[in-house]
Amino acid sequence: MKFTDRKSRSKSRHVAAAAGVLAAGLLTSMMGPAFAQEAAPATATSEAPSYTEQFLAKRGDNAISASLAPFYRIPALADLGDGVVLASYDGRPNGGDSPAPNSIIQRRSTDGGKTWGAPTFIARGQIGSGANLQYGFSDPSYVVDKETGNVFNFFVYSKNQGFFGSVLGTDDSNRNVTGTALSVSTDKGLTWSTDPSNIPTLPAPQNYAPGSKYANFDGPLVTDVVKPVGVTVGAVNNVGGVVGQFASSGEGIQLKYGVRKGRLIQQFAGRVRNAAGTEVIQAYSVYSDDHGQTWKKGADVGSAMDENKVVELSNGDVMLNSRDNAGGGGRKVAISKDGGETWGPVTYNSALKDPRNNASIARMYPNAPLGSQQAKVLLFSNANASTRSNGTIRYSCDDGATWSAGKQFKSGYMAYSTVTALSDGTFGLLYEGDSENIVFGKFNAEWLNPFCGAQVTAPAMSGANGTTVQAQISVKNIGDTVLEGSTATFAPQAGWVFGSVAVPAVAVGQTAQVTVPVSIPSYAKAGTFNLTAKVSVGEESALGSVPVTITGGASTNIVGLVIEGSATDNARNLATNPYAVDSLVPYQFVVNSLSNVTAASVPVSGNFTPFIPADGAGNCRFSAVNVWAGYTCSTPKHKVTAAELADGFFVPLTTWQVTGTGATTQNYTIKGDEVNLVDRKPSVAVTVAPGVFENKDASGFASVGDVVSFAVTARNDGNVALTGVSLSGATGAAATLAVGASTVGTFKHTVTAADVTAKQVAAVSVAGVAKNGVKDVAKTGTGVAFALTLAPEPTAPATTAPATTAPATTAPATTAPATTAPATTAPATTAPATTAPATTAPATTAPATTAPATTAPATTAPATTAPATTAPATTAPATTAPATTAPATTAPATTAPATTAPATTAPATTAPATTAPATTAPATTAPATTAPATTAPATTAPATTAPATTAPATTVPATTAPATTAPSGSLSDDTVSAGGELTVNGKKFKPGSTATFTLHSDPVVLGTAVVRADGTVSLTAKLPANVPAGAHTVVISGTGTGGEAAEVSIAVTIAAVDGAATSSASASPTTASSTTAAAAADGLANTGFGLLPLGMVGGLLLLLGGVLAVRKISIRGARH
């Protein structure tokens, strides 16, 4: 048979097999109340050969620890079913074996090895430093309990000594005793009993503490079991004592057949003291018959043994295959008839090349029935040279009696390897490649392309029940080409075990003869039965009838069935055509007799219709199932419920009863695999909301002991319902989620001193896990850092800095456009020339100027103040505007000493008469407030020519305002084109708060940004392309340092097409820059203000609601 035939490789189905009360020895170990068989799809399919690889660990990647694990070695691999694959290996700080402080690292896959999770520690070593003593863990090996779902990992526990340096004894506190650690996982490898958070302080006690969830398991150290001290024989002490030992890395096994079914076996190599008082390296098994609660050591075997592995053969024997420590170039083999307790003689297999390397041996089809041809197919991975190179997979079709030449998977360097069958029907390989990187390979049977049998035809045979007879099979080539790769066997028959033999190449028309063993069931009664010989080449088979006469025969009547169920709508595309509520899912049951009398097969209950007899036509009852016969019931259908559709699957569950004359009634419960109703894609999304501060000490500020709460949301963003939902560290979340539903838990973080120092709580990460049937999902959500508001440092009273002297500056003259007023009818009058006496003004917070009677709204200049100057008298028409007084606003003042300019007399000028009567408004003085003062040096301003009406100088008393920390802002550019990019900067906002950036006049939100820890915030945004040219304002809205709402307005000019003038862009709280301008009249430059024109223009602009300032920046507080 070509074992790429999908009939031989499909996933196992649940099978029940039972028998009634039997006479001793009538029921062989191939039967039981329930056992698994390889499925046989109705239609065989073929796949393209496939071998793929990926690195799981590369030297120097420091994927888990730069100090503990820059080097890797020693692979272990296990398949847990349902796509879960575990890979573990040594992480080594310096590349050395024990007693180096190595660690056991694991990566986990949930999709059959396609992708892998991040590396984690199963057990973490410790580098010696000061009071911290060195210890380490090395050489992992998995043992999977398929009956309970638990998985174990054995490894070395070393302190000061390794394998060759260890001394006798079991005291793990003795640093010269090399121990053995045993870790257990009850959640499919997610967590381990030797996780750094679980394992007790080393050296650990021999057993887990009472109350631990691992308390029922032996461990975490089993040195006392695997390393006995021996006994005294004659004058020799410690005979049989193990001086040093290690578990053979890779994978142990669980027995599938016989009275020891379920036994867990892990192989060891030990330095064993013999009766001569010398040490010999021997192999031995450590096994458990209670699912890992206790372990026992088996007998020692061989000499010059080393890493050794075991495999259960098709007859239930256990075969040991060992590295040769003596370097003979082959493998040492022994057979155990009692599940590893004792061993037969060691033989040598030189066909399996071995350069003193750790190899692997495994079943290709681990769920194959006892005695079946598939059960005989073994895999062997190792180097295939005299050096560690050329990694090769070999197969055997005869329980390891012979081996294929093999297929190479790695050229060049290749050291330790381990191979195992995966639950998806492919095969996994973990090996040490170049630079001892850990590499995972995955291949299918088509890549290996094993041929393990030949076509069978045979004359009539006879034999007693419970015996094996040899079928002499003739294979004739009736085709038109050479017959190669053919397989001779028998068609499957419940209860029978048939051999499979490869047929030599047969020329056209020629015949080859092979011998195929046939095992007759022990419960068979005497009689004749026809078997069907089968010759297969590829997907094709030829059949022939072969009569078998059974002699002797069982005397006790028994009944039993093999029941296999499977969905039949396998061609349905569930992604495009899912089932719906009330849809009917077709299903079938294949029932075969394990009885030696005619039996009645009756379905009792189940979630199918029609199924039980009460359902009427189409039910699965069969009143008379003949010996060696069977039937297929293909009528049942399962009606989909709303709950099942929400889950995306249903689980077949049926009960059956079989009865027969004179036989004990047997009852079966058959639970099938989950049947998908949709293309199941379970998923959970986890989000962490911004934190909420809980001020435990009511201080108003963050301090150690306060709490920041985070709302954590788990949302079902898959397409099927989730159960077992949990959020790590969070409380209050629901355990089940419908599609699209969410649950919210609370994660509380208590503020620490480190948080206070950092002025924030770092971003919180919360892991969410959930299940959908046998599928597990996990996702981690991460929030944002939470800024802490701390109590302010004590503030000293404001002080006035010593006066500093800045040189006075004179702004260049500016010329306003000339305007012509219409002539008036009033007669011209000439005001006599008057000379204004020089007056000295005290220091004020704004430049002291002589204004006309009409007072324009005051604008506040920055802190520099020009010295008071006295303008010379000028002769002008005496026209006085009615006095209007605007409220004064004062900027942070600088006080300059008063200076007196010499009086100058300007020539009289005559202005046209105006019709308004001359009225004089009294001068008004606005109170000034003064910020921390700086004093400019006294300067003398040049004389200016003003209208003849002179207002007396006013003195503004200086006052000192308290210091503020109001926000401010600036732009990257004063002017920007529509559609251009602009960077807006702000400072003195509350750290951690959010600031919003808006462009006015028609508000357009440019974006938001989080304020940095130093109170600054910035945003670079692209302006809308349709913004009109001209003056605009950018507003930063946010929270001030004191917690109050605050805004900063910054003027900006949007350039016109022809390039409009720019406006300066800067910001400070409630402050506008002062400006000094020199006006030009009649084309001549003046050295001061022309007060009348300025007053007239100012008044006009005031009446029109214009804005005199080039820019205005304001801070609007919470009152807005």
- The mean per-residue pLDDT over the stretch 451-461 comes to 65
What pairs with residue 884 in β-bridges? 854
Q: Report the Cα–Cα distance between both ends of the chain, in Å, rounded.
A: 88
Could you tell me the pLDDT band of residue 753, with boundaries at 50, 70 and 90?
A: very high
Length of the chain: 1120
Q: Phi and psi (nearest 5°) for 629?
A: -105, 180
The torsion region of residue 293 among left (phi > 0), alpha (psi -120 to 50) and beta comes to alpha
What pairs with residue 39 in β-bridges? 10
Q: Write down the residue that tokens 């009472």 correspond to.
A: 210
Distance CA 704, CA 793 (A): 17
- Report the share of the chain in percent with pLDDT over 70: 72
What is residue 930's predicted lDDT score, i.e. its pLDDT? 39
Reduce the DSSP state of residue 261 to 3 states and report it. coil
Q: Is the pLDDT of residue 243 over 90?
A: yes
- The mean per-residue pLDDT over the stretch 69-75 comes to 97
DSSP assignment string, 434-503: GGG-EEEEEE-HHHH--B--B------EEEETT-EEEEEEEEE--SSS-B-S-EEEE---TT-EE--EEP
Q: Which helix (H) or strand (E) holds 650?
A: strand 649-650
Q: Write down the residue that tokens 């971003």 correspond to.
A: 763
Distance CA 148, CA 657 (A): 26
DSSP state of 888: P
Distance CA 810, CA 789 (A): 47
More confident residue, 638 or 34: 638
For the stretch 563-575, pLDDT in tens is 999 998 877 999 9
DSSP state of 129: B
Q: How many CB atoms lie within 10 A of CB 62?
A: 13
Q: Write down the residue that tokens 């001359």 correspond to.
A: 918
Q: Is the pLDDT of residue 40 over 80?
A: no
Which amino acid is it at 880? T
What is residue 452's predicted lDDT score, i.e. its pLDDT? 55
- The mean per-residue pLDDT over the stretch 733-759 comes to 95
- Nearest to 25, CA basis, from 556, 529, 665: 556
What is residue 796's predicted lDDT score, i.e. its pLDDT? 54
Q: How many CB atoms lie within 10 A of CB 520?
A: 25
Q: Write down the residue that tokens 């060992």 correspond to.
A: 322
Distance CA 851, CA 922 (A): 11
Q: Is the pLDDT of residue 140 over 90?
A: yes
* Structure-token pair, residue 979: 């559609």
What pairs with residue 960 in β-bridges? 930
Distance CA 372, CA 808 (A): 108
* Catalytic pick among 135, 208, 416, 668: 416
What is residue 207's predicted lDDT score, i.e. its pLDDT? 79
For the stretch 587-638, pLDDT in tens is 999 899 999 999 999 999 999 999 999 999 889 999 999 999 888 788 899 9
For the stretch 966-976, pLDDT in tens is 888 998 888 88
- The mean per-residue pLDDT over the stretch 249-275 comes to 98
What is residue 402's predicted lDDT score, i.e. its pLDDT? 76
More confident residue, 929 or 113: 113
Distance CA 525, CA 609 (A): 36
What is residue 1095's predicted lDDT score, i.e. its pLDDT? 41
For the stretch 780-839, pLDDT in tens is 999 999 999 998 876 655 544 444 444 444 444 344 443 444 434 334 333 343 333 333
Q: Is the pLDDT of residue 143 over 80?
A: yes
Mean pLDDT is highest, among 905-909, 1001-1005, 1036-1040, for 1036-1040
More confident residue, 199 or 712: 712
What is residue 314's predicted lDDT score, i.e. its pLDDT? 96
Q: Is the pLDDT of residue 671 over 60?
A: yes
**Burial track 615-639 (b if 16+ CB lie within 10 A, e otherwise):** beeebbbbeebebbebeebebbbbe
Q: Write down the residue that tokens 């006066």 correspond to.
A: 803
For the stretch 414-436, pLDDT in tens is 999 999 999 999 999 999 998 88
The answer to whether 628 touches 612, Cβ cutoff 8 Å, is no
Q: Which helix (H) or strand (E) holds 644?
A: helix 642-647
The answer to whether 649 touches 718, Cβ cutoff 8 Å, is no
Could you tell me the pLDDT band of residue 488, with boundaries at 50, 70 and 90?
A: confident
Q: Write down the residue that tokens 């073994």 correspond to.
A: 378
- The mean per-residue pLDDT over the stretch 901-911 comes to 38
Q: Which helix (H) or strand (E) holds 211?
A: none
Q: Phi and psi (nearest 5°) for 1111?
A: -145, 155
- The mean per-residue pLDDT over the stretch 1065-1086 comes to 36
Could you tell me the pLDDT band of residue 1078, with boundaries at 50, 70 and 90?
A: very low
Distance CA 976, CA 367 (A): 75
Collect all residues with Cβ–Cβ distance below 8 Å to 30 and sequence separation of at least 6.
257, 369, 370, 371, 495, 497, 521
DSSP assignment string, 821-872: PPP-SSPP--PPP--PPP--PPP-SS------SB-PPP----S--PPP--PP
The answer to whether 474 touches 483, Cβ cutoff 8 Å, is no
- Nearest to 956, CA basis, from 990, 983, 924: 924
Alpha-helical regions (H) of 826-949 = none
Active site residue 214: no
What is residue 644's predicted lDDT score, i.e. its pLDDT? 97
Q: Is the pLDDT of residue 886 over 50?
A: no
Collect all residues with Cβ–Cβ distance below 8 Å to 1084 and sequence separation of at least 6.
none
Q: Phi and psi (nearest 5°) for 615?
A: -75, -10
Could you tell me the pLDDT band of residue 403, with boundaries at 50, 70 and 90?
A: confident
DSSP assignment string, 496-530: -EE--EEPPPB-TT-EEEEEEEEEPPTTPPSEEEE
More confident residue, 1025 or 900: 1025
Strand 461-464 to 540-551 pairing: parallel
Collect all residues with Cβ–Cβ distance below 8 Å to 1080 and sequence separation of at least 6.
813, 814, 815, 816, 1086
Distance CA 1018, CA 1011 (A): 8
Q: Write down the residue that tokens 């259908």 correspond to.
A: 637
Q: Is the pLDDT of residue 115 over 60?
A: yes
Q: Is the pLDDT of residue 884 over 50?
A: no
* Catalytic pick among 307, 312, 399, 436: 307
For the stretch 945-974, pLDDT in tens is 334 444 344 443 444 444 446 888 998 888
Reduce the DSSP state of residue 27 to 3 states and report it. coil
- The mean per-residue pLDDT over the stretch 770-774 comes to 96
Active site residue 973: no
Collect all residues with Cβ–Cβ distance below 8 Å to 1081 and sequence separation of at least 6.
1090, 1093
Handedness of CA 881, 884, 886, 892 (dihedral sign): positive
Q: Which domains does the chain have, with CATH numbers?
A: 51-199+221-448 (2.120.10.10), 454-550 (2.60.40.10), 561-676 (2.60.40), 684-787 (2.60.40), 968-1055 (2.60.40.1930)
* Structure-token pair, residue 376: 């005989």
Collect all residues with Cβ–Cβ distance below 8 Å to 644 and sequence separation of at least 6.
650, 677
For the stretch 1015-1024, pLDDT in tens is 899 999 888 8
The answer to whether 1077 touches 1006, Cβ cutoff 8 Å, is no
For the stretch 207-242, pLDDT in tens is 788 888 999 999 899 999 999 999 999 999 999 999
Q: How many CB atoms lie within 10 A of CB 920?
A: 13
What is residue 1076's predicted lDDT score, i.e. its pLDDT? 34
Which amino acid is it at 1082? D
Could you tell me the pLDDT band of residue 542, with boundaries at 50, 70 and 90?
A: low
What pairs with residue 103 in β-bridges? 91
What is residue 610's predicted lDDT score, i.e. its pLDDT? 94
Distance CA 519, CA 554 (A): 15
Q: How many CB atoms lie within 10 A of CB 799?
A: 9
- Report the share of the chain in percent with pLDDT over 90: 53
Radius of gyration for the chain, computed over Cα atoms and rounded to the nearest angstrom? 47
* Structure-token pair, residue 442: 């995955």
Active site residue 582: no
Mean pLDDT of the chain: 78
Alpha-helical regions (H) of 812-893 = none
- Nearest to 644, CA basis, from 677, 611, 672: 677
Reduce the DSSP state of residue 149 to 3 states and report it. coil
Distance CA 834, CA 877 (A): 11
Statement: the pTM of the whole predicted model exceeds 0.85: no
Distance CA 327, CA 323 (A): 8
More confident residue, 797 or 80: 80
Distance CA 976, CA 1060 (A): 10
Mean pLDDT is highest, among 331-345, 454-468, 843-857, 1010-1024, for 331-345
